[in-house]
Amino acid sequence: MTYDFQFGYIVDTMPALLDGLLITIEVSVISIAISVVIGIVGAAIRLFEIPVLSQVVGGYVHFIRSTPLLPQIYFVFYGFSGLGLQLSTFWSGVLALSLWGGAYNIENVRGGFLAVSKGLREAAGSLAFRPIHYLWLVALPLGVRISLPTMLNTAVSVLKNSAYLQAIGLAELTFVAMDRVALDFRILEMFAAIGVLYLGIVLILSLFVRRLEGVLQRPFRTS
C-alpha cells in the first residue's frame, strides 16, 4: 500500500500554517532578544563575582540547565497564575523560553568574557578603568564577538523549542500542524510542510548572525 502524498493539501492549508509561523517568529524573536540581555547581565555578574548575586545567577543557571524545558513551561504557565500573576499564553511562552535561553547565554557570554586576554584587563586597570568601563569598552565588544557562534546555537534552540508551547495551547506552527493532523489525518504533508518552514527560518536566522559576525569582525581585520 502506497501513501498518496498530496501537495495540493499543503497549498490549501498554507494560510493556516503561515499564521502559526508568524506566532512562532514573534515568540522566538522576543525570547531570543530577552535571553541575550539576560546572558550579558548574568555573565557580567559572574565575571565580577558580585556577592550574593553571583551565587543566585549560578543557581539559576544550574537549575535551568539541569531540568527539562517542558516542566519549566508548565511551571511558568500554571505556577505563576497560582501565585496571582496572570500571564497570557503568549507571554508565558516568552517568559519560559527567555529564562531557558538566558541561562545558556550566561554561560555562552561568560565564556567569551573569559576568552578576552588578561593583558587587556590589566591594561584597562592601569588606565584606571572602572569595572563598568572595562565591561562596556573591552569585555563586551570582544566577548560577544567570540561567543556569537554559541549564542547562535542557543537562538536556534529557542526557535525550535517554541514547538513545546503547543503544550499550553499557544497556536504556533506545530500546534496548527497537529490540529490539522487531528482533523484530516494528513501526517506526512503536515510534518513535511512545517519541517521546510522551520528549516527556512533557521537558515534566515543563521544568515543574519553570520552577517552580524562579519560586521563585528571588520575592526579586527588587518587587510
The pLDDT assigned to 144 comes to 83
- What cell does 89 get? 499564553
For the segment 164-202, what is each residue's pLDDT rounded down to a tens digit? 999 999 989 999 999 998 888 888 889 999 999 999 999
Q: Is the pLDDT of residue 69 over 90?
A: yes
Is residue 81 predicted with pLDDT exceeding 70?
yes
- Using 50, 70 and 90 to split pLDDT, how confident is the model at 1? low
Which has more pLDDT, 78 or 124?
78
pLDDT band, very low/low/confident/very high, at 63 (cuts 50, 70, 90): very high
Task: Give this prediction's pTM.
Answer: 0.88
By mean pLDDT, which of 14-18, 35-39, 216-220 is the weakest?
216-220
Which three-class secondary structure state does DSSP give residue 96? helix
**pLDDT at residue 221 greater than cutoff 70:** no
The pLDDT score that the predictor gives to residue 124 is: 73
Q: Is the pLDDT of residue 127 over 80?
A: no
Helices 187-217 & 7-47, crossing angle to 10 degrees?
Answer: 40
Burial (CB count <10 Å: 0-12, 13-18, 19+), residue 167 = middle
Q: According to the model, what pLDDT value does residue 25 have?
A: 95
Spatial separation of the C-alpha atoms in residues 3 and 118, rounded to whole Å: 62
What gap in Å lies between CA 21 and CA 28, rounded to an integer?
10
pLDDT of 222 > 70? The answer is no
pLDDT at position 27 is 97
Q: For position 220, what pLDDT does the model report?
A: 58
Q: Using CB atoms within 10 A of its CB, is residue 179 exposed (0-12), middle (13-18) or buried (19+)?
A: middle
For each of the domains in the chain, give its residue range(s) and CATH number, in order of start.
7-220 (1.10.3720.10)
Across the chain, mean pLDDT equals: 88
Q: How confident is the model at residue 59 (pLDDT cuts 50, 70, 90)?
A: very high
pLDDT band at 162 (very low <50, low <70, confident <90, very high): very high
In the structure grid, which three cell numbers stand for residue 128, read together?
Answer: 584606571
